[in-house]
Amino acid sequence: MTAKPSVLITGASTGIGAAYAERFARRGHDLVLVARNTGRMEALADRLRQETGVSVDIIKADLTQPADLAAVETRLRDDARIGILINNAGTAIGGSFIEQSTDTVAQLLALNTTAVLRLASAITPRLAKAGEGAIVNIGSVVGLAPEFGMSVYGATKAFVLFLSQGLSLELGPKGVYVQAVLPATTRTEIWDHVGADLSTFSGVMEIGDLVDAALVGFDRREPVTIPPLPDAGQWDALQAARQAMLPNYRNALPAERYRAGV
């Protein structure tokens, strides 16, 4: 890609997605915005065109709907100008696991996992062939912390993290950068979906601060960026402990502590 690549951003009508759109537009990248709310996207696109001069396309899509998702996949496969995918669209649901309906959980999984996977799958072959490009997947620290009590949401974000790490190992040698961004509590509309009052929370990060920090990690080519984490050594220690266990998984017999009579 000789020119700056275009950036396709899902969930781009508001919040984190809109902030990414603004930041990349100011870096001189053309944009493809994907979301359900056309009015918001058009207002954002008009402003960014006027302020930055970049080209902005809009795709109205509900990524839980197969036909809409397929249309975005087709754009990612066919538009060689798109070199960066920001997989930002996601949602959360309130209540405990027992209280959540199966249909609501299925919708959550469709947006938070299936759409992320399918869009990454659509663009990856083209980026790998070109030997350049990037995929940014927006996860959450909840995916590392079942103690936070958001079992299904956290499971979807654990999926996003694992997928990102696996793709990073696979695609990095082919020139494709994959970043997982793990926000904590951020001032977005997602809290309205779970019926939470943000005024009762402490340590709430502003959207602009989150995206600016995530872009520092992007520019540094970090595989995992956790904007609220003060001590990067804690993440490094977790990774080192996990990797230290890997050789111990290759045993033909159960560990001695699981053998009868021991």
**Rounded distance, CA 168 to CA 155, Å?**
20
**Rounded distance, CA 253 to CA 90, Å?**
42
Which runs of E-coded beta strand occur in the chain?
A: 6-10, 31-35, 56-60, 82-87, 134-138, 177-181, 224-225
Bridge partners (DSSP) of residue 7 are: 31, 84
**Rounded distance, CA 66 to CA 155, Å?**
22
Catalytic residues: 153
Token match 């603004």: residue? 22
**Rounded distance, CA 104 to CA 262, Å?**
46
